[in-house]
Structure 1
Amino acid sequence: MDYPEFLQMLNKEISNPASGQLSRQIITFARPRQYRECLHALNNMKSTLTSLRQVQPSRLIDALIVPLASTARLTAYLGDIFIEEDERIAMHGAAMTSPLKNNANTGVPWGVEQIKAPKVWSTSTGYRVKIGVIDTGADYQHPDLRYSLAPGINLLNRMMLPYDDNGHGTHIAGIIAAANSTGGMIGVAPRSLIYPVKAFDHQGSAYVSDIILGIDWCVRSGLDIINMSFGMKTRSKALLDVVKRATRAGIVIVASSGNDGKRRSIDYPARYPQTIAVGATDRRRKIAGFSNRGPYVDIYAPGDKIVSSWVRGKHHEMSGTSMATSHVSGAIALLLAQRPGLSPAEIKTLITRTANPLPVRKNAKGTAQVSRGEVDALRLVREGMRLPSSKT
């Protein structure tokens, strides 16, 4: 491939789109060497071809994210590249009540109690386990999160910290790692460290390419867990590729199944086999009505009417598989603080094996249906600590 010619063509298409409005495309290279050579040429040329500065690389999957109105002129290169239109992806928070007054119902929330996290704290609090939360950011001034947040990254504005302008990301961070025992709440793993990755805007919307760049950043930053409380209905090859690469790098990816109440289908990226797919339960340890469920779900966790941190130092109650996912991420942090080095596959096997069975459900024909269980942090950590030392 003639990379200067290819990049000049991209620069022209970005600068003067022949038709329509610019939309982002994910261009993945077939061979790593091609990508490295193209990236080298890009770095040399963008000082003079200024529109190329809008091209964002993902080194993890050998891809470029490019704003284009049309991909027609790229067809000449299709033997060497794969083109995928960037799509929108949405958060998985379902319902929200009004803010709680006077910190009512905070302390240790019911979901944290239900998965038996407090019984683990004498052994593990998730100390220094690094968790990337790809979401709307976090409230860095929140008393619950004062000692729980690392700088992270803002993919929407690289010059700013990933401040939360929505609330969802702060809620997720609180469930995982809130550490305000005197006047606020305690999360599942209160001494773990959250790295907010702001990929979602104030409306809770993001592009797949932002998720890809967020996962890329988490891998390069050496994180241990990625919490992904969002989903989409369609399959993305580029997103699958980056999930595979992150898993091979040793990062555990926990993803929410979705809030459509479906019985045999879940959203992507939770549907990818490399992730740990999470459904939601309620206080009675039954699968929440809104939660997707079925054979693609790996584990369930509390997700109905969950109280957690909110922007401007407040607390809110939310429901969704998003909330369930963060309980699971916290439980894995408790495990990894005691057994660092466990592979994503080992952790996935362990978390399903140690789950508490859910009440047996019956279908319309009266036949019993067995679901995956609900996460049990105490059994998870105990079983993990019994593993031979060669596994760590």
Structure 2
Amino acid sequence: MVTKSRSDLPAATAAGTPLRTFSRYPVVTLRVDAAGLNRLQLQTGVVSVTEDVPVPPVLAQSVPLIGGDKTRTEGLTGAGTAVAVLDTGVARTHPFLTGRVVAEACFSPSDAEYGASSLCPSGEDEQEGTGAADTDQGPCAVAPLNCAHGTHVAGIAAGNGANVSGAPPAGVAPGANVVAIQVFSRFGTDEFCGTGASPCVLSFTSAQLSGLEKVLELKESGVPLVAANLSLGSGRYTADCGETDLRGPVIEDLLAEGVATVIAAGNDGYNDAVAAPACVSSAITVGSTTDEDGVSTFSNRGALLDLMAPGTGIVSSVPGAKWASMNGTSMAAPHVTGAFAVLRQKFPAKSVDELLTLMKSTGRPITNGSAVTPRLQLDAAALGSTPEEPDPEDPKGQWSRFFINSNKYKIPDPGKVDSPLPVTGIKGSGPVYLHIWVYVVHTWVGDLKIELVAPNGTIYNLQNPSPSDATSLSEVYRVNASKLTTVNGTWKLRATDAYKGDTGTISSWSMDIPFYENTDEYAIPDSGVVEAPITVTGWFPGNAYDDVTIGVDIDHTWCGDLQIDLVAPNGSVSKLLLPDPTDDGDGISKTFWVDARQFPANGTWKLRVKDVTAGDVGTLRSWWLKF
């Protein structure tokens, strides 16, 4: 029941037996008989009366599909943020989530008339603190009750598989922390679970409201929450329900505090409707796609949908330190929840609405009925076609130049198709190695030959046809491009289907070019030294290559005064140019090569320019480094 204000609650509460109250909203849960219900409907100050109906959950190719492996490579992991998972609890010691569950709460009402009992490990209807939402404790740990859903959702949003045997590489935001909130109860009868389905877990609306209140409280206390995930719901709504749904006001308040409430659209297959609370307009409503970017047959859709994300055949964590595949908009929603963590790390000043707009504007359009909804493409949202310029206060360089084509290209059966990728702004000849990431979906991957075509027509073979019966290909290839005079121009990824009978698409591909540049100007002191840094981060786990290229652009009134050195991250010095008293030129624009196999690639490289003779001055205009 909802009243106009909290001052109206005492009179309204007298109509029945209070079951649950809330700390800040004019809402109370009552048990009333017919007379009490009539009294509430006639009472001044009562806005609405609804039944507290229990609802069910709405159930390691998906992360690469949305570009999450790319953002992870670029150091965008959601570090410094937290996401809340309001669900069936979380196995807090699961190796995919170990050490990351930073707060827990349980709101699990028991009700004899519903045959409902609490899932809180303490046995009480409410519990807070360490272990309060742990599915490895209390009733959730007892078979055959299935509380795996919340652990699976948390793993998609924020799992980290580093050094974990058999694990997926990572969820979307493996650096984010998790706030686990149990909002489900145990139901023991087929009346609510369905014939032959008891016991089951269902969630009261009142428990969800309590959980959302707790998220707001934690956010106000300083927990860096960026999103709350609700993969649950029921009903059929074609229009905004925010004014009538009990959860609407707290979802609005969370939005005002910078927390996105991300909600699964529901699994009823409606073409024009979603479930509640996904129908609240201030929530982020997420539908499900397949790996082939089709709309999942079960997914609700329509005008209320904000985004789509992969939700078919998603492998993630489940209790017992195990892994399982699940389907549902429940699996799609946490991809978006994790994306909010990654984008908050990248763009700390942007609002929830601005981040949502960014995801929508960079997403891949998916046609669903008469509507078109963007499917999350996180790398495009976070990185764009090329990484943003580093902050002026930070060292220059940082990331490889990154180019991506996320458009889909159908592969003829048989036949070939090219996916083009324009590259600009790279100085000098080709690097020793390019890194090419390819994501192709095909009903028989073994039919395919994959090639990379350079702007000058040079063809690099990436993969030949094989006996593989896989249905998708997600691989990174290393290509030696050092013989190219330039990498600028239009590259093409070519997929050739050599055999008839199977179909597919080039879903997306990208190119990382290890080119780093510092375009700041540095005055060269007369009879002094200046150093210009370039920081390298990204693809290079070990030492650099034997053919590192350095480009230098200097103005100086007597170039023969200058000595130029390259300083590696470990302090090793390579001499590029020695002083020459006979060189009276006023500019240096040269390319140098260094065997850097003994130097670590990652770290800060420096170009050191020393003026060895008094009487002349100049400027280091820019320099670049390419592996």
* TM-score bracket relative to the smaller structure: 0.7 to 0.9
Q: Does the residue aligned with 1:296 lie in a helix, a strand or coil? A: coil
Structure 1 residues 285 and 75, CA gap change in structure 2 (3 angstroms): closer
Cα distance in 1, alignment partners of residues 79 and 174 from structure 2 = 8
1:229 to 228, 231, 249: 231
Does residue 75 of the first structure (1) align with residue 40 of the second (2)?
yes
| Counterpart Cα distance in 2 of 1:205 and 1:293 | 23
**Partner AA of 2:314 in structure 1:** I
Distance, in Å, in 2 between the alignment partners of 1:72 and 1:292 is 33
CA 1:34–1:114 in 2, change beyond 3 Å: closer, same or farther?
Answer: same
Q: 1:320 to 1:251 in 2, by over 3 A?
A: same
Assess if the C-alpha contact under 8 Å between 2:85 and 2:154 holds in 1: yes
- Mapped partners of 2:95, 2:41: distance in 1: 55
Within-5 A mapping of 1:1-392: 27-32=1-6, 34=8, 55-70=19-34, 71-72=36-37, 74-75=39-40, 78-82=43-47, 83-93=49-59, 109-121=60-72, 122-156=74-108, 157=120, 158-159=126-127, 161-164=132-135, 165=140, 166-182=147-163, 183=165, 184-185=167-168, 186-201=170-185, 203-222=200-219, 223-233=225-235, 236-358=244-366, 369=370, 371-382=372-383
Q: Name stretches of at least 5 consecutive residues in structure 1 with no aligned partner.
A: 1-26, 43-50, 94-108, 364-368
Q: Residue by residue, what CA displacement relative to the aligned partner does 1:98-132 show, whole Å, maximum 9, x if unpaired?
A: xxxxxxxxxxx110110001111223100131211
* Contact 2:93–2:99 (CA under 8 A) maintained in structure 1: no
Counterpart Cα distance in 1 of 2:104 and 2:323: 22
1:73 and 1:276 map into 2 onto residues whose CA distance is: 36
Report the Cα distance in structure 2 between the residues aligned to 1:72 and 1:34, rounded to whole angstroms.
Answer: 16
Paired amino acid for 1:252: A
After superposition, give the CA deviation of every residue in 1:222-265 in whole Å (9 maximum; x if it has no partner). Answer: 03211111111165531223322322332201111111111111
Query: In structure 2, do the counterparts of structure 1 residues 341 and 318 end up closer, same or farther at CA, with 3 Å as the change threshold?
Result: same
SS at match of 1:312: coil
Q: How many residues align?
A: 327
How far apart are the structure 1 equivalents of 2:100 and 2:336? 17
Contact 2:40 2:46 in 1 (8 A): no
Distance 1:81 1:310 in 2: 43
| Inter-partner Cα distance in structure 2 for 1:327 and 1:76 | 42
Identity %, equivalent residues: 24
Q: Distance in 2 between matches of 1:126 and 1:76?
A: 47
Q: CA deviation at 1:341?
A: 4.5
Return the alpha-carbon distance in structure 2 between the equivalents of residues 204 and 272 of structure 1: 24
Deviation of the 1:333 alpha carbon: 0.8
Partner of 1:9: none
> Aligned-residue CA RMSD in angstroms?
2.7
Three-state SS of the structure 2 residue aligned to 1:152 is: strand
Runs of 4+ in 1 over 4 A off after TM superposition: 32-35
Amino acid of the structure 2 residue aligned with 1:211: Q
CA distance in 1 between counterparts of 2:37 and 2:269 reads 40
Change (3 A) 1:74 1:248: farther
Sort the Cα spacing of 1:151 and 1:374 in 2 relative to 1 into closer, same or farther, 3 A: same
Q: CA deviation at 1:386?
A: 6.6
Q: Tell me if the contact between 2:288 and 2:328 (Cα under 8 Å) persists in the aligned partners.
A: yes
Larger Rg: 2
CA contact (8 A) 1:175 1:308 kept: yes
Equivalent residues of 1:60, 1:245 under 8 A apart: no
2:150 and 2:41 map into 1 onto residues whose CA distance is 42
**More helix as a share of residues:** 1
Alpha carbons 1:61, 1:245 under 8 Å: kept: no
Give the counterpart letter for 1:115 in structure 2: I
- Rounded to whole Å, the distance in 1 between the matches of 2:37 and 2:285 is 37
Letter in 2 for 1:314: K
Find the aligned partners of 1:211 and 1:151 in 2 and give their Cα distance: 17
CA-to-aligned-CA distance 1:40-98 (integer Å, 9 cap, x gap): xx9xxxxxxxx98x6432234222223444534743872123333212222101xxxxx
Distance 1:241 1:377 in 2: 29
Counting strand residues as a fraction of each chain, which structure ranks higher? 2
What's the offset of the Cα at 1:271? 1.8
Secondary structure at 2:271's aligned position in 1? coil
- Asked whether the equivalents of residues 303 and 371 of structure 2 are also in contact (C-alpha less than 8 Å), the reply is no
Secondary structure of 1:79's counterpart equals: coil
8 Å contact from structure 2 (residues 77, 342) kept in 1: yes
In structure 2, C-alpha distance between the alignment counterparts of 1:324 and 1:141, rounded to whole Å:
24
Secondary structure of the 1:237 match is coil
Alignment-derived partner of residue 479 in structure 2: none
> Could you tell me how far 1:32 is from its partner in structure 2?
4.4
**Structure-1 separation of matches of 2:348 and 2:371:** 32
Q: Tell me the secondary structure at the aligned position of residue 224 of structure 1.
A: strand
Q: Normalising to structure 2: TM-score of the pair?
A: 0.49
SS in structure 2 opposite 1:218? helix
With over 3 angstroms needed to count, the CA separation of the structure-2 counterparts of 1:317 and 1:63, relative to structure 1, is: same
SS at match of 2:376: coil
